[in-house]
Amino acid sequence: MELARIEGTVVSTVKAESLKGRKLLLANLLNADATATDNYLVAIDSVGAGIGEVVLIVRGSSARQTESLGKVPTDSSIIAIVDSIELKGAIVYEK
C-alpha cells in the first residue's frame, strides 16, 4: 500500500466498457511523513475520496482484489481514506 493525496480528477469519455461510471482521480504519492513526492498516478476510486484527502492506494494485481473492481482493468485503486498518520511517536497528518 502507498500513501497519496488526491489533487485532481481525470475525465475520459472514451474508455473500456468496464471503466464506465468509475471515478478516476489524480493522486500525488506521499512520503511516510505525509510530504508530497511530486510523483503522480491515476487511480480508480472505490471509497468516495475527494480532492485534498489523503488515501491508501494499492497497485498491481492487488488493485483488482476489491469486491467492486473484480474484472476492471486497473493497476491502481484507492482503498481507504486516511484519518491520521503517526510516525515515530508524532502525528504527521490528521484529517
> Looking at residue 29, what is its pLDDT?
98
Cell reading at 48:
468516495
Model pLDDT, residue 19: 82
pLDDT tens per residue across span 40-56: 999 999 999 999 999 99
Dihedral sign, Cα of residue 49, residue 55, residue 56, residue 58: positive
pLDDT at residue number 60: 77
How many helices and strands (H and E) does the chain possess? 0, 7
Give the residues across from 59 on adjacent strands: 76
Q: What is the pLDDT of residue 91?
A: 97
- Which residues of the chain carry a pLDDT beneath 50? none
Structural domains in the chain plus CATH codes: 2-94 (2.40.50.220)
Q: What is the pLDDT, as a whole number, of residue 69?
A: 61
**Angle at 17 (CA atoms; ends 12, 18), nearest 5 degrees:** 95
